[in-house]
Amino acid sequence: MSAPEQGADRTPGGHISYPEKETPELVELATRLDALLRPEDGDAGGLGHVVLFDGQLPMVSIAVDPDVAGIQTLPSGGHDAAAVHERTGRQLYHLLTGLEPELAALRSGPLIRTVLRAPTGALFFYLIDTGAYLYGSTTRPDRIDAVDRQLADAVNEIRGLVRLGRLNYGAFLTAGPSASRPPTPAYGTAVPTSAPRPPAGVPADGDPADHSGTVTLLRGSLGVGRLHYVAYYRDNQLAATDDMLDDDRLAPFFAMPTSGRERRRAQYLNIGQLLPSVVRRLDSTLRAVAGGHLLRLVLDVEQGAISYHALPGKRYLIGVTLDQERVADADRVLTGLGRDLAAD
């Protein structure tokens, strides 16, 4: 049976299920969520399946568009696509909550949005409220960004129903067309109010000549409105890194005495070393529903984002922005940097 046929129930309300229990409150919430995600013209825009979680418990499961809600490989044992999405969401919950101590040490707010991109699709995990999450999926690589924004809008509408303020997931509330923004000069081309740090990522036993071009690329990716920290890894070992955390223009992000620059640097290095093991576990979680290996991971915290970008040859990048309004810009810069380094 093909993926779309598996569970493609097109009767009214038949695409909505309640894995734990059905209550009037859940039915109303599911109906509102379904209406937000399924426009009147019926075009879900590439969004396949969503699951509303209370902790690790799936409460509402919606096949938004059964034609793209299927999965790559159904396991044996009679599992349908909805059950696999629910299981995948539970796995994401456990993996991401396992990262909470490392993220909390940054003092940059909770993890509000996670994006996992693979060659043939993506998974999303959005924080709605404390302990409540919305899982989403797409098998349309050409619609990943649009689905991401669609989910962000829906989650903010749901937050509004319970009188919570809107969150700037992915900088979608403030990110406009690039042409409407003044260009941000690359770090080092403008005159900062404090001296830039020298490149700090050439290992003591390495050959600086082997890294000079890489360090130049890393430095060129930095900017007040772009990346604030970047690190390049080979074989899970730090090869080069640079940042502009000492720049006085970023001082507001360190106004709290518990959020020092050296503490941030140390924690970013710690997370950079930790992420490969997390990525390996996410790979197995991602494979069934989106296919292939994890290419990019975005950990969108309340104050900025940390991004992982896989490169050929057991290499990867870690990029950080502190500015929530520039998360989308920083992601584009990291993607470009990844293309440049992948060509090496």
How far apart, in whole angstroms, are the C-alpha atoms of residue 145 and residue 163?
27
In sequence order, the 6+-apart residues with CB closer than 8 A to the CB of 75 are 84, 288
User: What whole-number distance in Å separates Cα of residue 285 and Cα of residue 85?
Assistant: 10
Task: Tell me the per-residue pLDDT of 238-284, one tens digit each, with 9 for 90 and over.
Answer: 999 999 999 999 998 888 877 789 999 999 999 999 999 999 888 88
Given this model, what pLDDT does residue 75 score?
43
Residue 122 to residue 140: CA distance in whole angstroms = 8
pLDDT on residue 183: 39
The predicted structure's pLDDT at residue 211: 60
Strands annotated E in the chain: 16-17, 49-54, 57-63, 111-118, 121-129, 132-138, 229-234, 237-243, 296-301, 305-311, 315-321
pLDDT reported for residue 286: 79
Phi then psi for residue 124, to 5 deg, are -135, 145
Supply the pLDDT for residue 66: 65
Locate tokens 């640079």: which residue? 242
Give the pLDDT score at 234.
Answer: 93
Nearest to 38 by CA among 19, 10, 18: 10
Q: Give the model's pLDDT for residue 343.
A: 80
Low-confidence stretches of the chain (pLDDT beneath 50): 1-12, 72-78, 177-200, 202-209
CA–CA distance from 166 to each of 28, 35, 51, 107 (Å)?
Answer: 21, 19, 20, 20
